[in-house]
Chain A
Amino acid sequence: MTPSLESLLSNPDSAPFWRAVQEERLVLQRCARCRAWRYYPRQVCPHCLAAEYQWEEAEGRGEVYSITTVHRAPAGFDLPAPYQVALVDLVAGVRVLGTVDPGSVLRIGDPVRVHFRQTSTGVRLPVFARES
């Protein structure tokens, strides 16, 4: 379940996102026509169907929309249960799913910041931590 770098770079829709994550940068697509941010990345704007877009640095701040504590980790995940997984609304207006930094215990409504962690395979992944 914890992916390899090769696998994350294998889809042209998402490779720029994951490449930036390896540099500890958060980039999102922004539609050139209607200016909406979108996630997960794709070739077409899900709001106006325009094909033109740019990758832009996104502010890694947001708020917990929902959260669960996982007690039975799926096969192949590199962290031991229990840990939290959250849906977070970033200030850009997109909702992202991610693991919570094991050092944080979060609740719905908490402000969070995106950090990056190195997994057991050496791949970097985004992770949420409490915004202090």
Chain B
Amino acid sequence: MKGVLPVNARPVAAIAGVGEAGIGIHPDRTALQIQAEAAVRAIADAGLEPGDIDGVTATKGGDLLPGDRPALEIAEYLGLCPVFTDSTLAGGASPVIQIQHAVAAIAAGVCETVLITYASTQASRRQRHLGGHAAPEDHLVRQFDGPWGLPMPIGPAALAAARHMHRYGTRPEDLAAVAVSGRQWAMRNPGALRRDPLSVADVLASPYICEPLHRLDICLVTDGAGAVVVRRWDRVPPGRRVSVVGFGEAHSHGSILGAAELTETPAARSGRQAFRMAGCGPRDIDLLQLYDAFTILPIVLLENLGFCASGDGGPLVSSGATGPGGQLPMNTQGGGLSHCHPGIYGIFLVIEAVRQLRGEAGDRQVRAEQALCQASGGGAFGGSQATLILRKG
């Protein structure tokens, strides 16, 4: 049946705790260490004991090794024996998809309290070991997206940006405005790694990597870990509770060769599902947390989710609407462009949304009752999308 969770019924689950660790470049720490540290912080933030956790999820990106079982690995490290696990691999969207799967499992009654984790030390490992894990020579898709000299994942994003500029007249200044907006918020976040002032001119003056993307159109490369505890709603005390009121996932392609139209991601489908479940629409959202691995991505997501018409995303951001003082605050922690980006950013979108809805965001606090988190991922520019709508209380 469509929509197991009835519109506007009492929520099934809430976010009870969040935690982060290891954000920066820390060659002396391992991914498991910072993953465990973030998990312990989230469990403590929820006011819970390890014995309360009966579900565990984790994902990996470029760190993934043959034989890895991400959820089982962190469960054992922490001494947990879950009755629900998820190691979904969908790139940057994975942590938000895992949160959704956890809520569905809670709704089915198979578990009550799920720990969602992510960690990577890709940045400091790259400094020690050049290159990542090469695909075997008979990997089918690599044979068709690999031999042409297109850097990954930047290349597909550049192709999407070029297509968007061609279709709608989006300007380089509009892309740069996304980076500037995030930096303005990051300057109010002591936890952000990039906090020096940034102008549109600065972004355009940074060297081209893949046209039209300049270096400052592209997210940071850092280490970092994040964790979230999702619990059955009636077991979370109301004081700092953040309810999950709507969600959806949708997938359109894995490689750049499978994308039908680069400016139209499945965020439109995942968003429609989430809004239907929540019984609301874009005008009911006070805070946006949109994946910003590349400046073009939030522009495309604003359009695909219905916050503006197709083609109007660039002018919307250039108007200042998403920055401090604007009517659509976006990525108030600084996003992947200024806060951190350990390969996968999805979990940090949720952590910031929770802090804002609880009123724990300090100098960057906005007035928000409902937040929308949009995590993008998959193989090539936005082929996997996950929408999560959170409500205060």
Contact = CB atoms under 8 A, between A and B. Distances in A.
The answer to whether A binds B is yes
Given A8-B143, A10-B138, A66-B262, A96 B257 contact: yes
A72 B158 CA distance: 13
Interface in B119-144: 131, 137-141, 143-144
A111 B21 CA distance: 51
Given A14-B144, A85-B155, A96-B257, A108 B149 contact: no
Contacts of B139: 11
B194 interface: no
Interface string A58-98: 00000001111111111101010001010100000001111
A23 interface: no
Contact of A3 (B146, B209, B212): B146
B138 A74 contact: no
A72 B256 CA distance: 19
A4 interface: yes
Given A1-B146, A97-B148, A70 B210 contact: yes
Interface size of B as a range: 20 to 34
B62 interface: no
A3 B149 contact: no
Contacts of B131: 75
B211 interface: yes
Interface string B150-186: 1110010011101100100000000000000000000
Contacts, number: 100
B77 interface: no
Given A75-B131, A108-B162, A97 B137 contact: no
Contacts of A67: 159, 162
Contacts of A33: none
Nearest to A119: B147
A42 B209 contact: no
Given A4-B137, A7-B138, A10-B138, A66 B162 contact: yes
Interface string A6-26: 111011011000100000000
B284 interface: no
B207 interface: yes
B150 A70 contact: yes
Contact of A69 (B152, B207, B210, B262): B210
A97 B151 contact: no
B234 interface: no
A39 interface: yes
A68 B149 contact: no
Contacts of A99: 148-149
6 contacts: A11-B143, A13-B140, A69-B211, A71-B209, A74-B150, A79-B149
Interface of B: 131, 137-141, 143-152, 155, 158-160, 162-163, 166, 207-212, 256-257, 262
Counting from the closest, the 4 A-B pairs by CB-CB distance are A7-B137, A10-B138, A68-B158, A11-B138
Given A40-B141, A68-B212, A74-B150, 20 more contacts: A1-B146, A1-B147, A6-B137, A7-B143, A14-B144, A65-B163, A66-B160, A66-B166, A66-B262, A68-B211, A69-B210, A70-B149, A70-B151, A71-B209, A71-B210, A85-B159, A99-B148, A99-B149, A108-B162, A125-B147
